[in-house]
Amino acid sequence: MPVLDDPENQPPEDVVKQRHYEQFREEQDEQQRRAALRERSPGLYSRLTILENLVKLQEARGGEFPPKVVFLHMPDYILNVRRIGKVDVYALTAALEVYEHNDIVPGILWVPLDHIWWAGTTDIPVENAQVSLRSKPQKSHGLPEKYEELRHQLANLPRKKDS
């Protein structure tokens, strides 16, 4: 007797429907988790949105940040972010690929969301080891207009007329 749950014994349309239903359930579960997180722990939810904004910026940059442009600040360390990977809403962790910075070795880190304080981006790479988000008068190169515009939109900061 054939097993009905076995994908090999189901018509192809049913397999596709089942996959779409499973994907729908996963997305619905994640939305419920986000809503609960926003309600019960606004601090963790804000850290989640910080990472999501960085992911949007990362996509605008072609999937990767250049060295010394994006920094994630934690209690004891400042990470120079290369790429942001999976952000797990259930485990409240994020996978980050980082560049070498001070005593941090380049590689992949899994960081709990509660260890993230804030993140910053610069217009051009920072020249020295101390990280500060100050404006440099001499720009060696400009950013693509699309990326710069996206940064302003995500921050909800309209562009100045003189810049």
pLDDT for the residue 139 = 53
Two tokens, residue 10: 């189901």
pLDDT tens digits, 56-102 = 999 888 889 999 889 999 988 889 999 999 999 989 999 999 998 88
pLDDT over 60 at 140, yes or no:
no
pLDDT for the residue 1 = 45
Is the entire prediction scored with pTM above 0.85? no
Domain locations along the chain: 8-39, 41-155
Q: Which range, of 1-10, 56-65, 117-126, averages the lowest pLDDT?
A: 1-10
Two tokens, residue 56: 């949007």
Q: Give 84's strand partners.
A: 96
Cα distance between residue 129 and residue 41, in whole Å? 34
pLDDT over 80 at 148, yes or no:
no
